[in-house]
Amino acid sequence: MLGCEPAPLAKRGRYAEQPETARYAAFVAPELRAEGAFLPREEWWAFGGHDVHLDRVVPPLEREPGRARRPKVVLVHGGGGNGRLLAPFAVMLARHGYETIAPDLPPYGLTRRADDQALTWETWIALVSALAERESECRTRPVVLFGLSVGGMTALQAAERSPSVVATIATTLLDLRDPENLSLATRDTFFARTGLFFMKNAPWLSGGMWLPARDVAPIAKVANDPALATLAENDPLVGGARAPGSFWRSMYRPERFVPAEHVRKPVLLVHPGDDRWTPANASLRFLNRVPGPKRGIVLDGGGHFPIEPKAFAQLEAEVIRFLDAMP
């Protein structure tokens, strides 16, 4: 439901205490589950008044002293997501020797948002950029940003601001300043049209409304498995988490935006081929205008959250090839 008040601040907790955590694992191949040596280490980081929850997965070999270290990968979730949802990607990367950090971007997951701070997409971009600089260990270690869904564009915008970030990987690159793309990202055409009207003409009204992600975006299309999509849609830390109208408006009218023509760092796009939320051509339109090094792949099948075995295997091969080529 819509509301004029934000949801109560989340209490500090752990994902092991959340009933949905084990339910998500049932949809993931056993070798990609966050358990044993690949169970994320849960940490907290203060940023801009927010108490940010981080999932960190350190490869077993990375723990050996004196070992040459590879780039770190920061995983960036989308609207209606959280860092723990990206655990299959963290485990995959860890199996290839890459350390990952996955933040819960406010107001999602277990992050405690600052109750007196404006929350916009700019908050996300600034947070990811700052986290990348923090994880670069005083710029002695390169960082790659890997974003899924709208996290792809979040990652790309943060990468262009962060000296320590050397490249971006994305499953989706959707420029929401384009009304056509905004319509793709919203729950339905009626919501897109009425939402645009209020965002343009009455931002003071729309900014005060706190909307669950499932009422704004088609969370039911996040996965092609209906059971997984329903789980995400009803999860209070995902589809049920509420963000202010000002947050959604800021994606359409961002404070700062690096257009495709100004992107200079390498970009790998691995867009799912059976994405029922965002068609691949919407991402490719943006990528095709990027003048710097780039590679765009449409995966063989795979939903918006591409964990289907065939699509995931192709994504894994492309991502590891891309990372292994990093200097």
Instruction: Using CB atoms within 10 Å of the CB of residue 55, give its burial: 0 to 12 exposed, 13 to 18 middle, 19+ buried.
Output: buried
pLDDT band at 292 (very low <50, low <70, confident <90, very high): very high
Name the average pLDDT for the chain.
Answer: 88
SS3 16: helix
Average pLDDT over residues 110-121: 85
Average pLDDT over residues 261-280: 96
Which residues is 319 bridged to in the sheet? none
Residue 227 CB neighbours (<10 A): 10
Secondary structure string (H, E, C) spanning 108-132: CCCCECCCCCCCCHHHHHHHHHHHH
- Above 80 in pLDDT, residue 127? yes
pLDDT band at 1 (very low <50, low <70, confident <90, very high): very low
Q: Which token pair is 295?
A: 């590679």
Query: How many residues are present in the chain?
Result: 327
Predicted TM-score of the model (pTM): 0.91
Whether the Cβ atoms of residue 101 and residue 55 lie closer than 8 Å to each other: yes
pLDDT in tens, 26-77: 999 999 999 999 999 999 999 999 999 999 999 987 665 655 578 999 999 9
Q: Which token pair is 141?
A: 């270690």
pLDDT in tens, 188-236: 554 544 555 555 555 555 556 788 888 888 888 999 999 999 999 999 9
In the chain, which ranges are continuous DSSP H helix?
19-25, 87-95, 121-135, 151-159, 179-185, 189-201, 203-206, 213-216, 226-234, 245-252, 280-287, 309-324
Whether the Cβ atoms of residue 149 and residue 79 lie closer than 8 Å to each other: yes
Average pLDDT over residues 315-321: 98
Backbone angles phi, psi at 209, to 5 degrees: -95, 135
Backbone angles phi, psi at 242, to 5 degrees: -100, 140
Backbone angles phi, psi at 104, to 5 degrees: -90, 110
What is the domain partition of the chain in residue ranges?
15-324
d(CA 80, CA 218): 10
d(CA 235, CA 108): 10
* Cα separation values, 184 from 36, 175, 176, 189, 203, Å: 39, 11, 9, 8, 21
- CATH class of the 15-324 domain in this structure: alpha beta
State the number of CA atoms in the 13 A half-sphere of 283 facing the CB.
Answer: 33
- Above 70 in pLDDT, residue 185? no
User: Which pLDDT value is given to residue 69?
Assistant: 75
User: Which pLDDT value is given to residue 198?
Assistant: 53
User: Which pLDDT value is given to residue 2?
Assistant: 42
